[in-house]
Structure 1
Amino acid sequence: MPTIISTINVNGIRAATGKTGKGMLEWLAATEADIICLQETRATDEQTRAALAPALDAGWFLSLAEPGAKGRAGVAILSRREPNAVRVGIGREENGTWVPSAEFGGTGRYLEAEFDDFTVASVYVHTGEADTPMQDEKYRFLDAVGARMTAQTRDFVICGDWNIGHTELDIKNWKGNIKNAGFLPQERAWVSSMIAAGYVDVVRELHPGIDGPYSWWSYRGRAYDNDAGWRIDYHLARGDIATRAKQAVVERAATYALRWSDHAPVTVQYR
């Protein structure tokens, strides 16, 4: 049956839901999405549930991976139906048991929810910084995520903030970012390797050959007004569900003042 999946880095769940008028809670009340992947919740289980209380009261189910460090990371999945299984932290299946990674299992950067005919994951990849230990950590995390992606045997959609612009079409100022984290050759090659392994960059597939559509804009300057953004929030899908994607939109707020995050929801309708 048709399924609509959204992904959005909320840049702090309490801040996003605390904005009045056109904030996250208003968006949740209006969205037609069936499943929503959230990143950078930056909150405990209790804080997240309190922030999302109106949505949970309206019937949404919440699965989440709390941040490993206070105020950093944290991912979640909201769904209109309860998942059959939830796996917290990047890891592997071992004799029917989920074994989280020793380094990344508790960092609040990966979460899977299994439904009847497919599995959805929410991922938040490190920002990184070129030629530093932070970038090395980002590569190790990508290796762990890649291993999980290639091990999947079910229809699978992994959504999130990847902090990587794959091609020159994905960053407005790509020339100025060639040596910066987010557009480094090794990062871009990793995305290419996942596509070679059978994953489909669904939004790019539905919007071929165009700049963007961007999903993140700096709060600084006039980046938003000038649409000087980055496309770093992806749906990567494999299996039958990848062939079912028929429409993809970035739900960009009409004005800077109406933003409730520095990212915008990226929403895909799967037939």
Structure 2
Amino acid sequence: MKFISWNVNGFRALQRKMDVGEWLKETGADAFCIQETKLQKDQVDFQSTEYLQYWNDAEKKGYSGTAIFTKKEPIDVTYGIGIEEHDHEGRVITLEYENYYLMTVYTPNSKRDLKRLGYRIQWGEAFTNYINRLDAKKPVVFCGDLNVAHQAIDLKNPKTNVKNAGFTVEERNDFSKLLDSGFTDSFRYLYPDREGAYSWWSYMGNARARNVGWRIDYFVISNRLSHRVKEAKILADVTGSDHCPVEIDLSL
């Protein structure tokens, strides 16, 4: 199975830059998980005979939001994580299949002045509890913009970003706890020492051309699926957002 994840930074904006349907067809992806759709359902204009569509919009217009396009119809679909205070921003969709769960996730950003760091950590704890409940039933594959560079190798300038959103000790520890609870970062599983592998670049300072970036987009899987990972890719050549797509090829 080939799954692709992409923070598109506005689905309608992406559609103005590329033929999303044609690109998706060319990838051959079994499922396409997106984050930061920035729209409401009545604003969606995307037709596909190959893919079923599931959208979870934020209540606040033009903000956050997730979606999954999938070739295979799920047994069940869940929007959010079942906690009222965390389910207003359209951040999670879970598709249940016979042998696994597939999820798209858009983790809250702590913001430049870290004003949302406390909420971000609360959300992270709640999300970890949620995926552990699922994992007790069947393996989990979740992907998306997790808004954290886990290790120093995951961003160009770690020393100058230690107290910045996405690389604080609190956020990194939160992700470590998630992994320690029974999950694997698929890219680092295959490529533990690969440097310069980034999925997000600032629009400022010609950062993408200079590859001054962060790896904050992931495919994370239940540990018992790790031996089934055939490939994990960062599709850095695909433009259209300040993020690039990431991909996993799994034997499921």
1:13 aligned partner: 11
Deviations 1:23-74, CA, capped at 9 Å, x for gaps: 53332121121111110001111222x1x22xx2x32011121112111100
Structure 1 residues 212 and 68: alpha-carbon distance in aligned structure 2, compared to 1, 3 A threshold:
farther
3-state DSSP of counterpart to 1:151: helix
Matched positions, count: 249
Deviations 1:186-211, CA, capped at 9 Å, x for gaps: 11011111121110000111111122
Contact 2:154 2:195 in 1 (8 A): yes
Structure 1 residues 40 and 115: alpha-carbon distance in aligned structure 2, compared to 1, 3 A threshold:
same
Q: CA deviation at 1:132?
A: 4.4
CA distance in 2, matches of 1:128, 1:171: 17
Contact 2:93 2:105 in 1 (8 A): yes
Residue 62 (structure 2) pairs with residue 103 (structure 1)? no
CA distance in 1, matches of 2:208, 2:113: 29
1:151 aligned partner: 133
1:205 aligned partner: 189
TM-score, scaled relative to structure 2: 0.94
Residue 24 (structure 2) pairs with residue 24 (structure 1)? no
3-state DSSP of counterpart to 1:208: coil
Contact 2:114 2:164 in 1 (8 A): no
- RMSD value over aligned CA atoms? 1.5
Following TM superposition, the consecutive aligned residue runs of length 4 or more in structure 1 with deviations greater than 2 angstroms are 23-26, 129-133, 239-243
Contact 1:130 1:179 in 2 (8 A): no
CA distance in 1, matches of 2:14, 2:34: 11
1:46 aligned partner: 42
Q: CA deviation at 1:131?
A: 6.3
Residue 158 (structure 2) pairs with residue 174 (structure 1)? yes
1:95 aligned partner: none
Contact 1:90 1:104 in 2 (8 A): yes
Residue 252 (structure 2) pairs with residue 261 (structure 1)? no
Q: CA deviation at 1:140?
A: 1.4
CA distance in 1, matches of 2:22, 2:245: 13
2:220 aligned partner: 236
3-state DSSP of counterpart to 2:122: helix
3-state DSSP of counterpart to 2:148: coil
Residue 63 (structure 2) pairs with residue 72 (structure 1)? yes
1:97 aligned partner: none
2:80 aligned partner: 89
- Aligned pairs for 1:112-131 (under 5 A) are 112-129=94-111
CA distance in 2, matches of 1:132, 1:59: 41
Contact 1:156 1:239 in 2 (8 A): no
CA distance in 2, matches of 1:233, 1:161: 4
Contact 1:177 1:183 in 2 (8 A): yes
Deviations 1:150-198, CA, capped at 9 Å, x for gaps: 2122110111101100000001111110010100011101111112111
Contact 1:17 1:25 in 2 (8 A): no
TM-score, scaled relative to structure 1: 0.87
CA distance in 2, matches of 1:89, 1:170: 28
State the percentage of identical aligned residues.
Answer: 34
